[in-house]
Amino acid sequence: MSDLPSRPGDAQASGPVPALPPVVTVEAPTPPAGELTRHEAIDYDLDPQRSHWVVQAFKAATPGLHFLTHQYRRSWWRTDVIAGLAVAAYLIPQVMAYTAIVNVPPEYGLYTALVALLVYAAMGSSRVLSVGPESTIALLTGMAISPMAKGDPSRVLALSAALAILVGVWCLIARALRLGVMADLLSQPLLIGYLAGAAVLMVVGQLGKITGTHVGGESIVAQVRGFLDVVDETKLMTLWVALGTLAFILVIHWVRPLWPAALMAVAAATVVSVVFDLAARGVAEVGKIPSGLPMPSLPSVGSGDWQALMLPALGVAVLAYSDNMLGARAFPAPEIPGERPSERAVDPQVELVALGGAHVAVGLFGGFPVSSSGSRTALALASRARSQMYSLVAALCVFAVLFIAGPLMEHLPQASLGAVVLYAATKLVKGGEFRRMWTFRKREVLLALVTLVGTIWLGLLYGVGLAIAISLLEMAQRLARPHDAVLGRVPGLAGMHDTADFPNAQTLPGLVIYRYEAPLFFANVGDLRRRTQRVLDKEFHGYPDAPPRWFLLNVEANTEVDVTACDGLKDLYADFKAQGVKLGLVRLKQDLYQPLRRAGVVDLIGEDMLFPTLPVAEEAYLAWAAAHPYVPTVVDDHAAVEEAALAAAHSAPGFAASAFSTHTVEAEEIGDPLAASEANADPAAPAQTPPATVSKTPPRGVSDLTPDHDHGERGDVLGTREGVRHTV
pLDDT, tens digit (0-9, with 9 covering 90-100), for 42-95: 777 666 666 677 778 888 889 999 999 988 998 999 999 988 988 888 888 889
302-329 per-position pLDDT tens digit: 999 999 999 999 989 988 998 888 788 7
Which of these three, 424, 439, 474, is where a domain ends?
474
Q: Residue 487: is its pLDDT beyond 60? A: yes
* Enclosing domain of residue 702: 482-683+696-728
This prediction's pTM: 0.64
What's residue 578's pLDDT?
94
Higher pLDDT, 216 or 701: 216
Residues 470 and 495 in one domain: no
164, part of any domain = yes
Amino acid 595: pLDDT: 95
Region 449-474: what's the mean pLDDT? Answer: 82
Report yes or no: 572 and 532 within 8 Å, Cβ to Cβ.
yes
Helix (H, G, I), strand (E, B) or coil at 250: helix
248 and 228 fall within a common domain? yes
Residue 141 lies inside a defined structural domain of this protein: yes
Same-domain status, 416 and 491: no
Task: Enumerate the β-bridge partners of residue 414.
Answer: none
Concatenating the DSSP letter of every residue in 532-573 gives HHHHHHHHHHH-TTS---EEEEE-TT---B-HHHHHHHHHHH
Same domain, 434 and 556: no
For residue 4, tell me if it sits in a domain.
Answer: no
Nearest Cα neighbor of 109 from 80, 138, 85 is 138
Q: How far apart are CA 622 and CA 417, in angstroms?
A: 78
Q: What's the average model confidence in pLDDT over 630-637?
A: 61
With respect to residue 46, please indicate whether it lies within any of the assigned structural domains: no
- Residue 27: what pLDDT? 58
- At 722 the pLDDT is 35
* Averaged pLDDT for residues 363-382: 89
Bigger pLDDT: 463 vs 276: 276
- pLDDT value, residue 123: 94
Same domain, 334 and 355: yes
Quick one: 664 and 586 in the same domain? yes
Residue 49 included in any domain:
no
- Tell whether 586 and 678 lie within a shared domain: yes
* pLDDT value at residue 47: 63
Q: pLDDT tier at 261 (50, 70, 90 boundaries)?
A: confident
Cα–Cα dist 271/606, whole Å: 86
Percent of the chain with pLDDT over 70: 80
Burial status of residue 669 (CB atoms within 10 A of its CB: 0-12, 13-18, 19 or more)? middle
Q: Is 490 helix (H, G, I), strand (E, B) or coil?
A: strand
Name the band, by pLDDT with cuts 50, 70 and 90, for residue 704.
Answer: very low
Is 41 part of a structural domain of the chain?
no
Q: Can you tell me the distance from the alpha carbon of 85 to that of 75, in angstroms, rounded to the nearest whole number?
A: 17
CB distance 393 to 80 below 8 Å: yes
Nearest to 634, CA basis, from 727, 541, 540: 727
| Residue 265 is assigned to a structural domain of this protein | yes
pLDDT bucket at 672, cuts 50 / 70 / 90: very low
Q: Which helix (H) or strand (E) holds 665?
A: strand 665-666
At 22, is the pLDDT very low, low, confident or very high (cuts 50, 70, 90)?
A: low
As for how many domains the chain has, the answer is 2
Q: Are residues 259 and 276 in the same domain?
A: yes
The CATH number given to whatever domain includes residue 728 is 3.30.750.24
| Predicted confidence (pLDDT) at residue 15 exceeds the cutoff of 60 | no
Q: Which of 551, 545, 689 is nearest to 617 (CA)?
A: 551
Could you tell me if 470 and 488 lie in one domain? Answer: no
Q: What is the mean pLDDT of the chain?
A: 81
The per-residue pLDDT for 34 is: 61
Give the end of a domain, one of 444, 474, 504. 474
Domain final residue pick, 474, 495, 521: 474
Give 556: exposed, middle or buried? Use CB within 10 Å, 0-12, 13-18, 19+: middle
329, 440: one domain: yes
- The pLDDT of residue 344 is above 80: no
The reply to whether 464 and 527 lie within a common domain is no
613-651 burial string, b = 16+ CB within 10 Å, else e?
Answer: ebeebbebbeebbeebebbbbebeeeeebeeebeebeee
Q: Which amino acid is present at 185?
A: L
Q: Is the pLDDT at 255 greater than 80, yes or no?
A: yes
- 42 in a structural domain: no
**What is the number of other CB atoms lying within 10 angstroms of the CB of residue 329?**
12
Q: Using pLDDT thresholds of 50, 70 and 90, give the confidence band for residue 675.
A: very low
pLDDT, one tens digit per residue, over 105-135 is: 989 999 999 999 999 999 999 999 999 998 8
Point out which residues pair with 371 in neighbouring strands: 132
Q: Which residues contact 520 (CB under 8 A, 6 or more apart)?
A: 528, 558, 560, 561, 562, 565, 568, 569
The DSSP element (H or E) to which 725 belongs, if any, is: strand 724-725
Closest CA to 530 of 300, 287, 707, 278: 707
Tens digits of residue pLDDT in 517-569 = 999 999 999 999 999 999 999 999 999 989 999 999 999 999 899 999 999 99
In terms of domains, do 516 and 455 share one?
no
